[in-house]
A = this chain, B = another copy of it.
């Protein structure tokens, strides 16, 4: 781990920021205002952070012009603070690079096409006719199936499994324990029980896709499961066969998407949402956490289904009433009818 040290002048150039303060001040990390030391950099992207400024020991602050006069210390003034933070975070990444080449403990098929600049880590297994592009990093214990293609600069963390015939784009990141290309859940009922429908499609993942840990992405039954460019997926997400996810959509943790669902572009799906199969979701749709999405939509919107959390005693009483709702509605109707008969005619 080579600790990064960079002065504010270089940081300002990297961020295309206006520097006010000591250009020679050395920064070696990022921390929030409350924790930062003089060698660390902080950022302010909302008003509520300003309260921490007087007590902060931070070495410098990234902020935008609106907040610039609130702080007399070293500052980097940028147009988009959060994006500047994202950019600068890359400088302090502590994940070690793997050396190029194939670790002696890896088991690589003779027919696999491995770019010399790629890293194949300890105990990896790479199948027949697989293709590993330039700058690809497979950390330890990764399994790559036959005829699978991993495009340039994609990074795959330990113990990921990519089945046969899968295609991953450029500059993707796949976290540990994730499985891409397992069989879709397809079975025909018969008198002898469930008869397996072999899953003959594959998975196609675009460029710049990040997938968290312990996700399951199934191969298509016929045709492919497709994750388009720029999609981001959190942990423990289930994506069934033949799902399509449009560009730049974001899927939070514990989401499940059933077979052949078609998610548009730029959608945001909060945690623990479950999306039905064979439905289409319009571009730019947002779903609140825990929503059970039973129907598709054709226009962008914000949707939710979960009732509010209540104290358990109140919840019990209201829950009983929930099962009587139709009866309650009918009684209201009846009351309205009876009352109308009593009221003087308008």
Q: Which residues of A contact B (CB under 8 A)?
A: 1, 29-32, 35, 80, 82-83, 85-87, 89-90, 92-96, 103, 105, 107, 121-123, 125, 127-129, 139-141, 143, 146-147, 157-159, 161, 163-165, 173, 175-179, 182-183, 185-190, 193-200, 208, 210, 212-216, 218, 222-223, 229-230, 232, 234-236, 238, 240, 247-248, 250, 252-254, 256, 258, 271-272, 274, 276, 288-295, 301-312, 314-326, 328-329, 331-332, 335-336, 338-339, 342-343
Chain B residues within 8 Å of A229, by CB: 193
Cβ contact of A200, chosen from B92, B127, B139, B185, cutoff 8 A? B92
Can you pick out 18 interface pairs between chain A and chain B where the beta carbons lie within 8 Å of each other?
A105-B105, A123-B125, A123-B141, A125-B140, A140-B143, A141-B141, A141-B159, A158-B161, A175-B183, A179-B235, A194-B210, A212-B216, A216-B253, A301-B312, A310-B323, A314-B323, A335-B335, A338-B339
Q: How many copies does the complex hold?
A: 3
- In contact, A214 and B212 (Cβ under 8 angstroms): no
Q: Complex Cα distance A146/B295, Å?
A: 46
A305-B294 Cα distance, complex, nearest whole Å = 13
Give chain B residues whose Cβ lies under 8 Å from the Cβ of A324: 318, 329
Asked, given contacts A143-B159, A308-B323, whether A238 binds B235 with beta carbons under 8 Å apart, the answer is yes
* Chain B residues positioned under 8 Å from A121 (CB to CB): 125
Contact A315 B305 (CB under 8 A): yes
A147: chain B residues at CB < 8 Å are: 1
Q: A77 vs B279: C-alpha distance in the bound complex, in angstroms? A: 30
Secondary structure type dominating chain A contacts:
loop
**Shortest Cβ gap from A165 to chain B (Å):** 6
When the two chains form their complex, are residues A318 and B312 in contact, meaning their CB atoms are under 8 A apart?
A: no
Nearest-CB distance from A187 to chain B (Å)?
Answer: 6
Is B85 a contact of A188 with CB atoms below 8 Å? yes
Which among A147, A250, A254, A293 has the greatest number of chain B C-beta atoms within 10 A? A254
Chain B neighbourhood of A94, CB < 8 A: 164-165, 200
CB distance from A90 to the nearest CB of B (A): 5
Contact A179 B213 (CB under 8 A): yes
Contact B303 A311 (CB under 8 A): yes
Task: Verify B188–A83 contact, CB threshold 8 A.
Answer: yes
Q: Which residue of B lies closest to A139 (CB)?
A: B143
Known contacts A188-B82, A216-B177, A329 near B328 by CB under 8 Å? yes
What 5 A-B pairs come out closest when comparing CB atoms? Answer: A216-B235, A321-B325, A272-B274, A89-B198, A86-B188
Establish whether residues B223 and A238, one from each chain, have CB atoms under 8 Å apart when the complex forms: no
Please determine whether B107 and A107 come into contact, CB atoms closer than 8 angstroms. Answer: no
Pair A240/B214 contact, Cβ less than 8 Å: no
B238 and A256 form a contact (CB under 8 A):
no
